[in-house]
Structure 1
Amino acid sequence: MSFRIYGVSKPTLRRHRLNKNEFAKGGIKVREIVDNLPSTIEDDLVQNILMFESMMFGFTRKDLISLAYQMAEMNGLPHNFNQDKKLAGKDWFTSFLKRHYFISLRQAEPTTVAKTAGLNRTAVNL
Structure 2
Amino acid sequence: MVRNYIRKSTRCSSYNDESLKIAVESVTNGMPLKTAVKKYGVPARTLKRHQMAMTKFPGKIRLGHFHSIFTKDQELELVEIIKSMEKSLFGMTTTDVRKVAFEFAEKMKLSHPFKVDMKMAGIDWMYGFLKRHPTLSIRKPEAINLSRGSNAKNVAFGIIMVAKD
Instruction: Classify the TM-score, shorter chain.
Output: 0.5 to 0.7
Contact 1:72 1:79 (C-alpha < 8 Å) held by counterparts: yes
The aligned counterpart of 2:142 is 109
CA–CA separation in structure 1 for the residues paired with 2:8 and 2:67:
14
Give the paired residue count. Answer: 98
CA–CA separation in structure 1 for the residues paired with 2:80 and 2:86:
10
Q: Deviations over 1:9-47 (max 9, x none)?
A: xxxxxxxxxxxxx94555347577421112222111100
TM-score w.r.t. length of structure 1? 0.66
Contact 1:65 1:93 (C-alpha < 8 Å) held by counterparts: yes
2:133 to 100, 105, 111: 100
TM-score w.r.t. length of structure 2? 0.52
1:72 to 105, 114, 118: 105
Does residue 1:43 correspond to 2:76, yes or no?
A: yes
Q: 1:74 to 1:117 in 2, by over 3 A?
A: closer
- C-alpha root-mean-square deviation of aligned residues, in Å? 2.6
Does residue 1:27 correspond to 2:27, yes or no?
A: no
CA–CA separation in structure 1 for the residues paired with 2:108 and 2:119:
15
Higher relative contact order (CA 8 A, sep 6+): 1
CA–CA separation in structure 2 for the residues paired with 1:31 and 1:50:
31
Unaligned runs of 5+ in 1: 1-21, 119-126
| Identity between Structure 1 and Structure 2 (%) | 30
Letter in 2 for 1:27: R
CA–CA separation in structure 2 for the residues paired with 1:83 and 1:61:
17
